Structure 1
Amino acid sequence: MITLLLIIPLIGSLILLPMSNTPEGKQQMKNIAITTSLINLYISLFLWYEFDSSITHYQFTEINDSFRTFSQFTAYSLGLGEKYLNLKFGVDAISLYFVLLTTFVTAIALLSSYNLNSKHVKLFFVSFLILETLQICAFVSLDLLLFYIFFESVLPILFIVIVIFGHGKDRFRSAYLFFLYTLAGSLPMLLSILTINSYIGSTDFQLISLSEISLESQKYLWLGFFIAFAVKTPLYPFIIWLPKAHSDSPLAGSILLAGTILKLATYGYLRVLINFLPDATNYFSPLIQTIAIISLIYASFSTIIQQDTKRLIAYSSVAHMAVVVLGLFSNNLPGIEGAILLAIGHGFVSPALFICVGGIIYERTGTRNINYIRGLVSYMPVFSILFFIFTLCNTGIPLSLNFLGEQLSLIGIFEQNPIIASIAATSILLSACYSIFLFNRLSYGNLSPYLPPLKDINRREFNLLISLLLPTVLFGIFPNIILSSLHMSVSSLLYNI
């Protein structure tokens, strides 16, 4: 079943390649790409339905030796000798929800770009289908070296997407910043993986989890992995690439960056640092908490002063991901489960806000400068209601998944360090400040003289926003839909520690 999840987007890409760039051909490309992503979403939902939450080991495990020649070459080039890499895949409850989020957000990203008018339509949709496969591979890989390969493989494709389909002349600098920051940050992770292979003789997840690594060795390995994940999260001082990448990337790129790409680091913290290097994780907990608090405060105050709508939402993502990091390293069940819930909730709400400000408003006004936009409630009442609801969800109001995730994360870190938790709780006030401030400036006030009369949202845009709102509220009211299957895997993670 996992093989189907990986192959179907590739099959859709192969179908798109020979198609012509005529107007009829472009329309067919869009329909085929969206249909492919929806099929993958249905398969992932069936995977969720068949998943047994009462056991802790990996399920739907598959070992694929069909790419032995390629893996032999890859292993040899990375200095692993004559070994070859088995393409070993499987899911547990932790990886399952990130797979579900990836298939869902990819479908939303493609639907948001349905009106794309470009001579490179084929390249656009092929890129996003390949990105879907690569992200799922990262979440289901059961080999550390394979995880690294797929973790990094999204970089060149996103680089191309930002350069070709991005906005503004500054998109080249943004693309290079994104590529170089994340590539350079991941090099220490590669060194750590090679070191683990020299210690243990394997990069297989299960073998690593059964092996004993001394505390001194864990410290060096932990720092190598942490740098890579901190850049991808991002945490201070590696923040600069994210607002630029968001502001200059196309709408679908921003949706994917906020919804799933940032979650690769969240998954890496859980799967590698907490699972394989528990002693070093405990040793470096004060450092992580300090960096997360600095990131939260810095990003929150930076968000308040932004004048570009997409850049503002990007900085708010940094603040929310800092709370996720605090929950992950709380070393208790409420904190880790809350961090996963907040990561999933952020994967719904942040793409919705990007659709609002970088899609609906930008397409109608031609600007993202907040000073030129106001009085939208007079033009677009239905949109204003949905925008207001998502703004409240971004602040973490009750009945939203973000509220539960944020509260559980803060409760978890409070059990470990009440002072850090008290400082982190200011995120509730700060997120309310910048979110409501943004909504108030855009929606109310005198009608802007720079804007023509604007049309309210159409059916496609309404369906997009409702599709993101329903799971946010549903899981916020019934969180046990997720938590009941998470308990066993997270408890096993803490027990192994």
Structure 2
Amino acid sequence: MNQLGFPLLSVLMLVPLLGALAVFLVPDGRERAMKGIALATTLVALALSLPLYFAFVPGEAGFQFEENLPWIASLGIRYHVGIDGLSLFLVLLTTLLSAVAVLSSWTAIKEHLKAYMVLMLVMETAMLGVFVALDLFLFYAFWEASLIPMAFLIGVWGSDRRVYAAVKFFLYTFVGSTLMLVATIVVYLQGGTSDLPTLFASLNLPANLQIWLFFAFGLAFAVKVPLFPLHTWLPAAHVQAPTAGSILLAGVLLKMGTYGYLRFANPLFPVGAAYWTPLLSVLAIAGILYAALVALVQEDVKSLVAYSSVAHMGYIVLGIFNGGVLGTAGAVLQMVNHGLSTGALFMLVGVLYERRHTRLMKDYGGIFAKVPVFGAFFLIAVFSSVGLPGLNGFVGEFTILLGTFANNRLYAIIATFGIILAAWYLLTAVRRVLFGPLNPDNDSLTDMNRREVVAALALTVFFFVLGLFPNLVFQKVTPSVEAALARTAQVVSALSR
């Protein structure tokens, strides 16, 4: 259904493209105009996304704000977009983080600014498309379209080893998605359509085929999450990427993997999901513990935050495959939470890097007295990531572990140790960066300016909103989760008779 009677999702995706065109047409040398247009574009997209929340009908499990038009009519492939509780908050997260990413790039990007801003805006359209596409081929097109801008952002505007990181990122994700394309074609031939709601209603694949198709889709999603041991591209990409690239990579692109499981792999191939759940669960727990232990020995604070992302995404995968309704709803909330908290941490690391051009924790120490505003934001972001009660991270982790405990106590107990390790490595980073004796090299360090405060505040406020009022998310997410899990259980039951 489309309760607005207006193609809001299409307009929302079109706005960043028009902004990219406007930036492209700005004469060279007018950097201020380029930045202004890019920021205005992301703010317009953010404003356009807000009615999606307020007009969204709670308690409705079906797709809303739908648009369904012929695309490649001869093949029956359609331009079909819409959102439900699983995708609503990821769309909102994308528009918010895109605006923050542009703000974070204001003074950091010195060369090829026009190309940089164009790629940022094109990537926003692609990321939004991934979360609203309801046709398999349309989803694949947006999935691939999001890969190219990020590879260029890392490869052109990254640090010393940027080309290596960009190539590794591209190869990992491209190989996984190529296998997904083959599986998409198989589903299309078997089901006679690529329309997702139609496939949900009519697709009935043999159990063995479901197992292999889930593997093909699931591998692409596992690489994107990234799930241990397919995570090795992520630390390199994060460390080398510009600040805005890290914000969008951690905040949005990683969520495309977990969203892919929820939207496509699990409901289309429920027997395959059940078959691969034990392995995925073990890998998720291994990633939680391994990444936490590696984070403990990092000297580069950006690398530490990158490994924390691997651990946090492991919790989300654990909730999706073991948490039932409660854990899966918690996983959706935690996707948003991770995007906010880790996006804030990467933004704040970028604030320090712009001033000192080093990410090594040993080069800081004792700076809280010099930069108290930065210190306050950094502390709150760390507490959010640790899962301090009252902040958003606590609710997500707690519901994931509670849902998992009801289905597999051993998994939940082992995963709990990851929370202890997370507190250890993140609070160690706080101690080494903010407290202790002042490094004389930081004597002239300046605190955050108004632009940086606005960007940090835009994320920090939601730490408290979602931590204190999680039902703002759960009331819209839970019906979609219940419907998805009910369909999965029904198909598995029918095939097991």
Query: Deviation of residue 254 (structure 1)?
Result: 0.4
CA separation in 2, counterparts of 1:127 and 1:332? 38
The alignment status of 1:480 with 2:471, answered yes or no, reads: yes
Q: What does 1:112-261 correspond to in 2, within 5 Å? A: 112-168=104-160, 170-210=161-201, 211-261=203-253
Unaligned runs of at least 5 residues, structure 2: 1-7, 489-497
CA separation in 2, counterparts of 1:495 and 1:117? 48
Query: Deviation of residue 378 (structure 1)?
Result: 2.5
Query: Deviation of residue 119 (structure 1)?
Result: 3.5
Structure 1 stretch displaced more, 189-198 or 397-406: 189-198
1:315-338 deviation digits (Å, cap 9, x = unpaired): 000000000000011251110011
Equivalent pair of 1:393/1:400 in contact (CA under 8 Å): yes
CA separation in 1, counterparts of 2:40 and 2:468? 30
After superposition, the CA RMSD in angstroms is 1.3
What residue is the counterpart of 1:438 in the other structure? 429
Q: Secondary structure at the match of 1:90?
A: strand
Equivalent pair of 2:108/2:354 in contact (CA under 8 Å): no
Cα separation, partners in 2 of 1:83 and 1:126, compared to 1, 3 Å:
same
Q: Secondary structure at the match of 1:208?
A: helix
Q: Secondary structure at the match of 1:61?
A: strand
Query: Deviation of residue 164 (structure 1)?
Result: 1.4
Query: Deviation of residue 156 (structure 1)?
Result: 1.4
Equivalent pair of 2:364/2:433 in contact (CA under 8 Å): yes
Query: Deviation of residue 117 (structure 1)?
Result: 4.3
Q: What does 1:328-339 correspond to in 2, within 5 Å? A: 328-330=320-322, 332-339=324-331
Structure 1 stretch displaced more, 254-263 or 450-459: 450-459
CA separation in 1, counterparts of 2:446 and 2:395? 35
1:272-312 deviation digits (Å, cap 9, x = unpaired): 12211112212222111111111111100011111111111
What residue is the counterpart of 2:492 in the other structure? none
What residue is the counterpart of 1:47 in the other structure? 52
CA separation in 1, counterparts of 2:305 and 2:420? 16
Runs of 4+ in 1 over 2 A off after TM superposition: 116-119, 449-452
Structure 2 length normalisation: TM-score?
0.94
Equivalent pair of 1:324/1:339 in contact (CA under 8 Å): yes
Q: Secondary structure at the match of 1:17?
A: helix
Equivalent pair of 1:21/1:119 in contact (CA under 8 Å): no
Q: What does 1:99-118 correspond to in 2, within 5 Å? A: 99-118=91-110
The alignment status of 1:405 with 2:410, answered yes or no, reads: no
What residue is the counterpart of 1:4 in the other structure? 11
What residue is the counterpart of 2:61 in the other structure? 56
Unaligned runs of at least 5 residues, structure 1: 73-81
Structure 1 length normalisation: TM-score?
0.94
Q: Secondary structure at the match of 1:139?
A: helix
Query: Deviation of residue 452 (structure 1)?
Result: 4.1
Query: Deviation of residue 207 (structure 1)?
Result: 2.0
Query: Deviation of residue 98 (structure 1)?
Result: 0.8
What residue is the counterpart of 1:419 in the other structure? 410
Q: Which amino acid aligns with 1:21?
A: D
The alignment status of 1:345 with 2:331, answered yes or no, reads: no
Equivalent pair of 1:63/1:87 in contact (CA under 8 Å): yes
Q: Which amino acid aligns with 1:298?
A: Y
Query: Deviation of residue 138 (structure 1)?
Result: 0.9
The alignment status of 1:32 with 2:70, answered yes or no, reads: no
Query: Deviation of residue 374 (structure 1)?
Result: 1.2
CA separation in 2, counterparts of 1:15 and 1:361? 31
Q: Which amino acid aligns with 2:468?
A: I
Q: Which amino acid aligns with 1:154?
A: S
Query: Deviation of residue 86 (structure 1)?
Result: 1.5
What is the aligned length?
A: 480
